[in-house]
Structure 1
């Protein structure tokens, strides 16, 4: 894995790490957490990576102690992030930080992929 769980990263740092990697499938098992879940993503948006929440018998999310102790909110599922990247690649786009941020914001607002 190229990133550490429970460590602060800017969204730009995460993207730069992923752009330098040939395989981003490890993101599939992680989620993005932040204190600013209602804000639009920017290069400086501070995020933490941690495992997906567990689910209790009633279907409610059970977050890790790290997420709870640091007052974090689920921001983006790793699987969604990979889907956004994959969609951009399938459109034949050259990936860069600004394009990925725009596509992620579009996805969060519209629950749909950005056509570029």
Structure 2
């Protein structure tokens, strides 16, 4: 995968790189989460990839130092992010960035994949 940890990217860049990787090779098996200062998903929102939080002995999430120092919020675990992108690709032949973002937003609100057919989207 051609994305560096702890580097600022627009969400649309991350989607383009990872969706291309998924369509060519399947899941990336990379250990990352998507973090941002914003919780509103737009193509231009600045995001960072960083490792997963660990779990402390008292069952609390311990975020990587970079995430804490930059006051970032967890947007997506890498596996969930890739699951959503892969699901969109299974429904739409050439998804747009906006379709990916709609599906990501839908998943974060409903904890299920968006069905583009039932949502009036295209196939």
TM-score by length of 1: 0.88
Change (3 A) 1:58 1:79: same
Correspondence 1:14 to 2:18: no
Q: How does 1:28-107 map to 2 (within 5 A)?
A: 28-37=30-39, 39=40, 41-107=41-107
Q: Distance in 1 between matches of 2:26 and 2:61?
A: 25
Q: Distance in 2 between matches of 1:91 and 1:43?
A: 20
Q: Which structure is higher in RCO with an 8 Å CA cutoff and minimum separation 6? A: 1
In structure 2, stretches of 5+ residues that fail to align are 117-123
Count of paired positions: 114
Greater Rg over alpha carbons, structure: 2
In structure 1, stretches of 5+ residues that fail to align are none
Change (3 A) 1:46 1:61: same
> What's the offset of the Cα at 1:90?
2.6
Runs of 4 or more above 6 Å deviation:
none
Q: Distance in 2 between matches of 1:114 and 1:93?
A: 15
> What's the offset of the Cα at 1:47?
0.4
